[in-house]
């Protein structure tokens, strides 16, 4: 799949070489990796040079050397073969599929759509490649091929387009809804956008002044139920043992870290490569020039279970806003980062205010090498951050039916935890057994929610 970007630079900026632009703009690949892609013919430039008469564009795509000097409006094209993309886990569970949409549970090593190093190795790509090759799994465990549904495009061998209407981070597992037409995508996206607009306006009433008005739990409940278009809840394993029943409501604004660091050369140099990725928390009430301090954000973190032995807690997280990395930032801000987070840490474990993003080189090493993150228990590590989208409710774009889905986190978390099962930590249980018990207790804490029973579909890998 060809990906392209049109080059533009300020008039006063000096000329820029292709290799320098790629390394600065897309640091997920090293300089040597970009040079290898060029040698293999995966990079080309559609030049936007004007003809000798000065009228119109004389556009043509050519493979150019990496020391090519880019011109305004050049179009850079990148077309690597799929086998050069990072490996992914293609395990996906489909909970619902009809003519308008598909709801599925993705794992924690799968981006939703193309971006960064990923083009074809995405949830959208997996669904398109495997369409028609999954089975319906009924409540009694029997399976029958979905080819019996002849009216569904997926069962007729026809290509189905999938349109993500919201996204999860690559390492966040859980529920995702994708539309199957542009029309359905517009309606579903509209639900998410309307909810965001309503909640932002109401949240600003509490946090938009020069002094912060605390959002209480009852006010949070009122806000989150004000617009019932979409409802999302997450389960997270946090680094640190917090007494069960504790609750945190975090209203720190969320914005780019670079806005805070760009005038500080000492700190900025550690974060220059990923300045468009890293986010930061700002005080909820910033008074004037609010645009310089991110956007309003509010999360409620409720501790459902915890273990002093594993030094972790399992929390339910509800959000009024959906800012980039919001849950991970707010959890680290209160001193209990999401376990396994490769980007955000705390310098004050168990205390508010120690949130920080690691330096670029540290994060890139962790991400490229798929480093497992250890925690305070000997012999245990985790491959990714343990955050899972567990509850999703929305209105069907054509039938107007309210749909509610639940995906337990057990399978998705435990498959990414590495543990010496022979080592018994408590009551003759291994670390994964203790964590499973914690997850069981956490899910029982959600028992007040009634979830729609759905026939589950699972992909067959042959």
Matching fold, domains 3-80 and 92-185+454-459: no
The CA distance from 206 to 264, in Å, is 31
Which pLDDT score is estimated for 1? 66
The CA distance from 107 to 173, in Å, is 5
The CA distance from 250 to 254, in Å, is 11
Which pLDDT score is estimated for 158? 58
The tokens for 263 are 């005038």
Domain residue limits, the chain: 3-80, 92-185+454-459, 195-444
Which pLDDT score is estimated for 293? 79
Which pLDDT score is estimated for 58? 47
pLDDT values of the chain reduced to their tens digit, one per residue, 462 residues? 678 889 998 888 899 999 999 998 888 788 999 999 999 888 999 987 644 444 444 455 688 888 999 999 999 998 888 888 888 999 999 999 999 999 999 999 999 998 878 888 999 999 988 765 554 443 333 333 232 233 344 444 557 889 999 989 999 999 999 999 999 999 999 998 887 777 777 777 766 655 455 688 888 888 888 766 788 999 999 999 999 999 999 999 999 998 888 777 667 889 988 988 999 999 876 655 666 678 889 999 999 999 999 999 999 999 988 899 999 999 999 999 999 999 999 999 999 999 999 999 999 999 887 889 988 888 899 999 999 999 999 999 999 999 999 999 999 999 999 998 888 898 889 999 999 999 999 999 876 544 443 433 333 222
Which pLDDT score is estimated for 420? 87
Residue among 175, 169, 122, 164 nearest 412 (CA): 175
Residue among 374, 337, 373 nearest 355 (CA): 337
The pTM (predicted TM-score) of the whole model is: 0.82
The CA distance from 410 to 285, in Å, is 38
What is the fold, at CATH topology level, of the domain defined by 92-185+454-459? Answer: Pseudouridine synthase (3.30.2350)
Bridge partners (DSSP) listed for residue 413: none
Which pLDDT score is estimated for 149? 33
The CA distance from 46 to 76, in Å, is 6
Radius of gyration of the chain (CA): 24
62-67 CB contacts, 8 Å cutoff, 24+ apart: 63/38, 64/18, 65/18, 65/38, 66/17, 66/18, 66/19, 66/34, 66/35, 66/38, 67/17, 67/18, 67/19
Residue among 93, 91, 92, 100 nearest 403 (CA): 100
CATH number of 3-80: 3.10.290.10
The tokens for 419 are 């543990």
Which pLDDT score is estimated for 306? 97
* Angstrom distances, CA of residue 280 to CA of 185, 254, 298: 30, 6, 14
Contact 184, 100 (CB under 8 A): yes
- First-to-final CA distance of the chain: 24
The CA distance from 163 to 152, in Å, is 17
What is the CA angle 281-284-287, rounded to 5?
A: 120
Which pLDDT score is estimated for 100? 96
Which pLDDT score is estimated for 370? 80
Which pLDDT score is estimated for 209? 54
Which pLDDT score is estimated for 29? 85
Contact 247, 303 (CB under 8 A): yes
């Amino acid at each position: 799949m060809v990906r392209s970007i049109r080059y533009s630079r300020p008039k006063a900026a000096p000329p820029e070489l292709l290799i320098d632009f790629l390394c600065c703009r897309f640091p997920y690949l090293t300089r040597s990796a970009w040079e290898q892609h060029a040698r293999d013919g995966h990079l080309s430039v559609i030049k936007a040079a004007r003809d000798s008469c000065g009228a119109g564009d004389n556009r043509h795509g050519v493979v150019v050397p990496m020391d090519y000097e880019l011109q305004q409006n050049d179009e850079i094209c990148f077309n690597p073969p799929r086998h050069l993309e990072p490996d992914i886990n293609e395990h996906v569970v489909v909970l619902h599929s009809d003519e308008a949409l598909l709801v599925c549970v993705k794992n924690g090593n799968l981006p939703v759509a193309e971006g960064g190093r990923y083009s074809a190795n995405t949830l959208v790509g997996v669904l398109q490649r495997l369409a028609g090759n999954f089975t319906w799994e009924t409540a009694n465990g029997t399976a029958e091929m979905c080819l019996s549904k002849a009216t569904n495009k997926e069962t007729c061998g026809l290509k189905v387009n999938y349109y993500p209407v919201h996204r999860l981070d690559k390492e966040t597992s859980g529920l995702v809804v994708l539309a199957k037409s542009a029309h359905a995508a517009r309606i579903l996206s509209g639900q998410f956008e309307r909810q965001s607009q309503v909640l932002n306006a109401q949240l600003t009433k509490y946090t938009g002044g020069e002094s912060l008005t605390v959002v209480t739990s009852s006010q949070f409940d009122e806000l989150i139920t004000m617009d019932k278009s979409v409802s999302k809840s997450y389960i997270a394993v946090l680094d640190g043992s917090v007494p069960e029943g504790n609750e945190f409501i975090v209203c720190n604004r969320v914005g780019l870290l670079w806005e805070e660091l760009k005038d500080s050369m000492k700190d900025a140099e550690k974060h220059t490569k990923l300045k468009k990725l890293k986010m930061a928390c700002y005080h909820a009430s910033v008074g004037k020039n609010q645009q310089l301090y991110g956007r309003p954000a509010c999360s409620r973190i409720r501790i459902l279970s915890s273990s002093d032995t594993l030094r972790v807690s399992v929390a339910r997280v509800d959000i009024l806003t959906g800012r980039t990395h919001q849950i991970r930032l707010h959890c680290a801000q209160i001193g209990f980062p999401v376990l396994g987070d490769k980007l955000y840490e705390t310098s004050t474990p168990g205390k508010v205010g120690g949130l920080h993003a690691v330096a670029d080189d540290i994060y890139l090493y962790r991400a490229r090498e798929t480093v497992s993150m250890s925690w305070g228990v000997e012999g245990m590590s985790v491959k990714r951050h343990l955050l899972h989208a567990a509850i999703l409710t929305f209105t069907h774009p054509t039938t107007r039916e309210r749909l509610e889905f639940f995906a337990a986190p057990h399978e998705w978390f435990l498959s990414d935890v590495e543990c010496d099962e022979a080592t018994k930590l408590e009551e003759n249980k291994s670390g994964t057994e203790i964590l499973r018990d914690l997850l069981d207790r956490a899910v029982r804490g959600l028992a007040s929610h009634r979830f729609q029973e759905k026939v589950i579909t699972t992909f067959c890998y042959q």
